[in-house]
Amino acid sequence: MEEALTLQTQAIEMLKAVGLSPRVNRAQGKLATYFELADYHRASGSAAVDSTKEEAEDLATGVLDLQPHRISFAPIEGQAHEAIFTLSNLSGHSIQPQLQIASTDLAITAVPGEDLHFSLSDTSYRSQTEPAQKIELAPLEQILIRFKMPADLKPAADLRLALSAQFEQAQHSADLLIMPATSAERVHVINAAEIRDNPFYLIPVFHQISRPGNASDTIQIRTRASAPTRIEVYDTSGQLCSVDAEGNGRFDDPGDLLLTEQVDARYPVFRSEGGLQQLEFRYQPWDRTANERIEIDIQTRNSAEADWESDVQDWILLNEG
Identify whether residues 198 and 143 lie together within a single domain: no
Identify whether residues 189 and 304 lie together within a single domain: yes
The predicted-structure confidence for 56-105, as pLDDT tens digits, reads as follows 444 555 789 999 999 998 888 888 889 999 999 998 899 999 999 999 88
Residue 95: its pLDDT value, please? 93
C-alpha 225/C-alpha 230 separation (Å) is 9
Q: SS3 for 67?
A: strand
Name the residue among 223, 214, 157, 238 with its Cα closest to residue 192.
223
Among 183, 201, 228, identify where a domain stops.
183
Identify whether residues 107 and 36 lie together within a single domain: no
Residue 27: its pLDDT value, please? 46
Among 40, 60, 80, identify where a domain stops.
60
Name the residue among 291, 309, 137, 287 with its Cα closest to residue 222.
309
Distances (CA, A) of 68 to 98, 246, 283: 17, 21, 11
Identify whether residues 306 and 201 lie together within a single domain: yes
Q: Is residue 64 packed enough to be buried (19+ CB in 10 Å), middle (13-18) or exposed (0-12)?
A: buried
Identify whether residues 72 and 143 lie together within a single domain: yes
Identify whether residues 149 and 163 lie together within a single domain: yes
Name the residue among 107, 108, 91 with its Cα closest to residue 99.
108
C-alpha 280/C-alpha 237 separation (Å) is 10
Decide: 155 and 121 in contact? Cβ < 8 Å.
no
Report the interhelical angle of 26-44 vs 50-60 (nearest 10°). 130
Residue 295: its pLDDT value, please? 95
Q: With b meaning 16 or more CB within 10 Å and e meaning fewer, what string describes 221-237?
A: bbbbbbbebbbbbbbee
Identify whether residues 316 and 203 lie together within a single domain: yes
- Domain of residue 151, residue span: 65-183
Identify whether residues 219 and 253 lie together within a single domain: yes
Residue 184 CA to chain centroid, in angstroms? 24
Identify whether residues 274 and 295 lie together within a single domain: yes
Identify whether residues 18 and 84 lie together within a single domain: no
Using alpha carbons only, what angle is made at residue 70 by residues 115 and 129, rounded to the nearest 5 degrees?
50
Residue 151: its pLDDT value, please? 84
Residue 127: its pLDDT value, please? 61
Residues in Cβ contact with 117 at an 8 Å cutoff, skipping those fewer than 6 apart: 110, 111, 146, 148
| Residue 157 burial (CB count, 10 A) | 9
Distances (CA, A) of 150 to 179, 206, 276, 298: 14, 18, 10, 25
Among 60, 86, 107, identify where a domain stops.
60
Residue 60: its pLDDT value, please? 52
Identify whether residues 266 and 315 lie together within a single domain: yes
DSSP code of residue 115? T
AA letter at 236: T
For the entire predicted model, the pTM comes to: 0.79
Instruction: Tell me if the bond preceding 155 is cis, omega within 30° of 0.
Output: no
Residue 126: its pLDDT value, please? 60
Q: How many domains does the chain have?
A: 3
Identify whether residues 119 and 225 lie together within a single domain: no
Using 70 as the pLDDT threshold, list the residues of the chain that sit under it: 1-61, 123-128, 130, 184-185, 212-216, 273-276, 319-321
Decide: 77 and 181 in contact? Cβ < 8 Å.
yes
| Residue 255 burial (CB count, 10 A) | 18
Rg from Cα positions in the chain: 21
Residue 217: its pLDDT value, please? 74
CATH number at residue 109: 2.60.40.10
Residue 272: its pLDDT value, please? 72
